Amino acid sequence: MTLTYSLDEIENVAKEILAIPLLKKVITFHAEMGAGKTTLIKALVKELGVADNSSSPTFSLVNEYEDLNGDPVYHFDLYRLNSEEEAYDMGIDEYFYSGNWCFIEWPEKTPNLIPIDHAAISIKVKPGGKRELQIKN
């Protein structure tokens, strides 16, 4: 599926993504710095009913939120991760295989730890500030 959108349409994009039948709960996000990964994840988290103010977990590696059902939603920013071993030591695999939503920025930092059965979102910035999103589920 491919979507082209502007940032003021991000809430509708989040709704469309979450409406994908049998959408996998582990989703990796691939894009250059500043392309809107965190902005899209914030919209997805909001759409899941998270009341907390979501932000990028740049310094903590993971933020945990609670959705409308009281289930955890995890947002990872692995940019500052030094090694896969560091991620493994923090128990990242337990998050990934928990059955809960896991939104992962910079997944290329842990290529051997990402579950094989995951969805992937790629975002490209287009002329005029629009974004082109491709999702593979």
Q: Are 118 and 89 in contact (CB under 8 A)?
A: no
Q: Are 5 and 129 in contact (CB under 8 A)?
A: no
Provide the pLDDT for residue 129.
87
Interatomic CA distance for residues 82 and 72, integer angstroms: 26
Provide the pLDDT for residue 61.
84
Q: CB burial class (10 A; 0-12, 13-18, 19+) of residue 114?
A: buried
Assigned CATH topology for domain 2-136: Rossmann fold (3.40.50)
Q: Supply the pTM of this predicted model.
A: 0.91
42-98 pLDDT tens trace: 999 999 999 766 555 555 688 999 998 999 999 999 998 989 999 999 899 999 999
Q: Are 119 and 135 in contact (CB under 8 A)?
A: yes
What sections of 1-137 are H helices per DSSP?
10-18, 37-47, 84-89, 92-96
